[in-house]
Structure 1
Amino acid sequence: TGLPPTIEAVTKFIDNPDPAAYEQLIDTLLESPQYGEKWGRHWLDLVRYAETNSYERDGTKPFAWRYRDYVIRSFNNDKPYDLFIKEQLAGDEFETLTADSITATGYYRLGIWDDEPVSQKQALYDDLDDILLTTSQVFLGLTINCARCHDHKLDPISQKDYYRFLAFFSGFRRYGVRGHDTVQSASIGPIAVDANQALQSQMRQQLDKELGELDRTINNVNNRLQGLMSAPEKEDFKAIEVRVDIARSYVGKGFSKQLVDKYVAAVQRRQEILDTRPDEIAKTLVIKEIGPNPRETFVLVRGNSNVQAEKVEPGFPSVLSPPEPDIQPSVHGKSSGRRTALAKWITSKQNPLTARVMVNRLWQHHFGYGIIATSNNFGAGGLAPSNPELLDYLANELMDGDWRLKRMHKLIMLSTTYQMSSQSSKTGESKDPTNQLIWRFNPRRLTSEELRDSILAANQSLNLQMGGPSFYPIVAPEVLHGQSRPGAGWGSSTEEQRARRAIYIFVKRSLVLPLMANFDFADVDSSCPVRFTTTQPTQSLSLLNSEFANRQADIFADSLRKRSPDDLPAQIQRALNQVTQRRVTGEEINRGVQLVAQLIETGASEQEALKYFCLVSYNLNEFLYVD
């Protein structure tokens, strides 16, 4: 689930004599709604999920959070993996449309978008290449994108194969051309109102409250700017840009940069809320095509959009000896039907890659690395499988089990291999020093999201509210002012909202939270199959000195004092219980008491000393690592 167990849950499990207790625990965790949040985050890494476009303006992608919620919901509902693929690739072409099938196509809109390209034609092919790269690597483990300008240097994939595969997407409308209105028309579509009307209403109330605060800020600044600028109504992209430029022209003319920056940030945040505020008719990011007749596709000489060679039709990589695509017109008449043909081939049991790629990812996230360590590259440029027979076995199990992922999780976690200790041995180290054959369990450090969530869980302030618009953590002014548009695109959230799980943090490409970046958050500009774990001094420094860690340590210390007033040993014991999720020894409690006493001797107050102990507890290896 990505969350630590409570000390009570651990004690209950340890004291349970039932031989089936472990299997029952697995079932409980797989049914937990937090399972979808944990495993959905792995998928979001793969599909380069972010809520902004990158480049200089890094504008917001309206309603991108609905795709994130769709992914979490799909994992929690144990949606068959083949259906999960079909919905994302061609959900808008289903005969019976659902909110999920439409929302899923937001997959195509998650990439970076240049709203001021030098060449619109080249930009279109760059966008299509991003889709091709992500689709081929995520679902097939193939680097077809390497054949854009010439035949693949390592795999038997020709340049013609590349453009035949590209032709499946040739009917796309770009995310936008330039400006707010073009994005709204090209990439935003309606879906059925969410079944949870109360949640919709709550979201609107939260955003309306923030709108009121922003309007007050704007009006206050207006008064100081002599009323020369009025509070904006809902305006298009260009009007907002003009308003911002005018505001900045007042800097140095009797008005401070800080005042004008405050106005600019408020105006831009106001527009973002108006773009994303849930309406009675819900909206989401979607794919739209130019119509039932897609553009013609040509092989481009050296990838140059202005130099066309032979015309090609849609086709699958010839190296896989595939059938010809069976392309049927879309029943709705708004698209070509090509993506449906692609989705059916990718999810066919005759396709040798799809199931293997997915079970390899499951294995990777359970054991630290996949049976094929290069999980986005099953070609010659990747690594060979450490156990080909096991990979084939798991792939067949996935397909034979109706493509259900929870069944695969349980199969893996009930295995003797998964239940091995992480203890090392001289024999094992001498025969397999890198543990390729999994003769022991691989200890691992918490991910950036797990770390943040675990800190909140330790002090018992974690808010488990699921879904809805993303929240904005507090970010230092120095970080906000380092953007190309200082303070723009970053809102404010209530303390309650800021205590939600990290998967609900607003993902801005040009502003990765320092704590998340220090602990190896995913690169969201392209598909991220593996997060490489680093160890560096800034990690400990951020856990000791960051605003987030210190604020949470204050909350932690306050909760300990309220639970056990005037009883320092009990406070230390409870703190270690909540951080380590185990029974602590008397010696450990005594060391904690001694540390607090030493801090008080050096000038810290009792409150400060307990807070510092909480900060130290966040840095314990036992807290940071799972073994």
Structure 2
Amino acid sequence: MISHNMRFVLSIATLIFACSSSLKAEEAVKLSEEPITEADREHWSFQPIKRPALPAVKNQTWPRTPIDHFILAELESAELQPATEANRTTLIRRLYFDVIGLPPMPEEVETFLADQSPDAYDKIVDRLLASKHYGERWAQHWLDLARFAETDGYEHDKVRPDAWKYRDWVIKALNEDMPYDQFVRWQLAGDVIAPENPEAKIATAFCLSGPDMPDINSQEERRHTLLNEMTSTIGSAFMALQMGCAQCHDHKYDPISTIDFYRMRAFFEPAVKPVKNRSVTMLASIGKPVAPSRVMIRGDWRQPGPRVQPAFLRVANLQEQAVDADDSSQQRREYAFWLTQHNHPLTSRVIVNRIWQHHFGRGLSATPSDFGLMGDLPTHPELLD
């Protein structure tokens, strides 16, 4: 008859053997992925950006800008006529609500109606763009993409006392007309690109503005959740790709593998180091090394699989660029510059579509966060280029 002590020893031995076998199995897992083919890149959003020629139109007097040529060409092909121009009172109200989200004062309407100069409308546009309310109005659209909140979410929903710093940075960046490439780069790697500039570090709060669980018992689970949510958001906000679908399995429709997802996540893993009961508000560029990046089998943080190295998303990497830097912080910097290079097929198309959506109520593609195979085709793809 086995004593209680012997049963305990056997149980511990069995557990150790099971864990050892599990670790060996994790190392033995080999994931495969399909190569990216020319057929994969035939989808419109993966095609190289080209500057299209202006389409020919019959009505040569209506177009005022190159954009008008594309709009009119579609109208003429459908045998439709452009709508008549709105009256000046309607125009100024539309402009005010569009740019700053507020109606014009009665005296501002009267001044505009009395100004018969050819550039009367342009002068109001310039004045509204220079208003502080412009940044306040348009920041809300970006903060929605950044899943900005002043609390952590979940059941405890603790207040984030420093959240306002990122919100104010976005407003300031818009009001100061920060170039979009810099705007993106600072949010992904500002702490590395401009380490002496505190605002550049504040900008990295974009990556960590999602829901968080600071008081969870397993900080490793918390870190895994933060990283997956961040990777998904970067994919949808900047590239309009639903990357999150690939954290557990290869994407069902788009040419994005599970390995692609974790390669992209690997750029950010060294910079996410949560501490229990403390909110993580910015990326950390300095600190002790972290464990090697791995694919999580079926997305389960308790099942780490093969190691992966940071690499650019294959389907969008038209030039097949490789990551040159060895230092993890510089690799993240390299990713930020890869994402914002002029020939990236997605980044500029996505932001053009978002701006169009907020001005006209509907994007040129009606699915602004999904440029993949299940998203809507753009009505005027040339305008996105």
Give the TM-score normalised by structure 2.
0.70
Equivalent residue for 2:129, pick from 30, 41, 47: 30
Letter in 2 for 1:327: A
Q: Is the 8 A contact 1:128 1:166 kept in 2?
A: yes
Q: Which residue of 2 aligns with 1:48?
A: 147
CA distance in 2, matches of 1:68, 1:31: 19
Percent of matched pairs sharing the same residue: 41
Q: Does 1:323 align with 2:316?
A: no
- Paired residues for 1:297-312 under 5 Å: 297-312=293-308
Deviation at 1:336, TM superposition (A): 2.9
- Paired residues for 1:440-459 under 5 Å: none
CA distance in 2, matches of 1:130, 1:309: 19
* 1:504-526 per-position Cα deviation (integer Å, ceiling 9, x unaligned): xxxxxxxxxxxxxxxxxxxxxxx
Unaligned 5+ residue runs, structure 1? 188-284, 330-334, 393-627
Q: Which residue of 2 aligns with 1:366?
A: 359
Q: Secondary structure at the match of 1:327?
A: coil
Q: Which residue of 2 aligns with 1:72?
A: 171
Q: 1:78 to 1:3 in 2, by over 3 A?
A: same
CA distance in 2, matches of 1:337, 1:295: 18
CA distance in 1, matches of 2:208, 2:295: 24
CA distance in 2, matches of 1:83, 1:366: 23
Segments ≥4 residues shifted beyond 6 Å: none
Q: Does 1:376 align with 2:372?
A: no
Letter in 1 for 2:145: L
CA distance in 2, matches of 1:361, 1:147: 24
Q: Is the 8 A contact 2:246 2:256 kept in 1?
A: yes
* 1:302-332 per-position Cα deviation (integer Å, ceiling 9, x unaligned): 1111222221100111112331123253xxx
* 1:146-180 per-position Cα deviation (integer Å, ceiling 9, x unaligned): 10111000101111101101101111334432x2x
Equivalent residue for 1:357, pick from 350, 354, 357: 350
* 1:269-303 per-position Cα deviation (integer Å, ceiling 9, x unaligned): xxxxxxxxxxxxxxxx4222563744311112111
CA distance in 2, matches of 1:299, 1:328: 20
RMSD, matched Cα:
1.7
CA distance in 2, matches of 1:66, 1:84: 15
Q: Secondary structure at the match of 1:310?
A: strand
Letter in 2 for 1:129: N
Letter in 2 for 1:363: W
Give the TM-score normalised by structure 1.
0.44
Q: Secondary structure at the match of 2:223?
A: helix
Q: Which residue of 2 aligns with 1:248?
A: none
CA distance in 1, matches of 2:326, 2:121: 49
Unaligned 5+ residue runs, structure 2? 1-99
Q: Secondary structure at the match of 2:306?
A: strand
Q: Is the 8 A contact 2:208 2:226 kept in 1?
A: no
* 1:3-39 per-position Cα deviation (integer Å, ceiling 9, x unaligned): 1110110111112111210111111111111111111
- Paired residues for 1:93-108 under 5 Å: 93-108=192-207
Q: Is the 8 A contact 2:240 2:370 kept in 1?
A: yes
CA distance in 1, matches of 2:108, 2:115: 11
How many pairs align? 284
Q: Which residue of 2 aligns with 1:92?
A: 191
Letter in 2 for 1:311: R
Letter in 1 for 2:206: Y
CA distance in 2, matches of 1:40, 1:337: 29
Q: Which residue of 2 aligns with 1:214?
A: none
Letter in 2 for 1:295: A
Q: Which residue of 1 aligns with 2:157?
A: 58
Q: Secondary structure at the match of 1:376?
A: coil
Q: 1:96 to 1:124 in 2, by over 3 A?
A: closer
Q: Does 1:158 align with 2:257?
A: yes
Deviation at 1:56, TM superposition (A): 2.0
CA distance in 2, matches of 1:11, 1:113: 50
Q: Secondary structure at the match of 2:270?
A: coil
Q: Does 1:288 align with 2:281?
A: no
* 1:110-147 per-position Cα deviation (integer Å, ceiling 9, x unaligned): 11111343643222211101100111111111111110
Q: Is the 8 A contact 1:103 1:286 kept in 2?
A: yes
CA distance in 2, matches of 1:93, 1:115: 25
Q: Is the 8 A contact 1:294 1:336 kept in 2?
A: no
Equivalent residue for 1:340, pick from 322, 327, 333: 333
Q: Secondary structure at the match of 2:294?
A: strand
Q: Is the 8 A contact 1:293 1:336 kept in 2?
A: no
CA distance in 2, matches of 1:286, 1:123: 15
CA distance in 2, matches of 1:143, 1:6: 43
Q: Is the 8 A contact 2:250 2:256 kept in 1?
A: yes
* 1:490-512 per-position Cα deviation (integer Å, ceiling 9, x unaligned): xxxxxxxxxxxxxxxxxxxxxxx
- Paired residues for 1:3-14 under 5 Å: 3-14=102-113
Q: Is the 8 A contact 1:169 1:339 kept in 2?
A: yes
Letter in 2 for 1:319: V
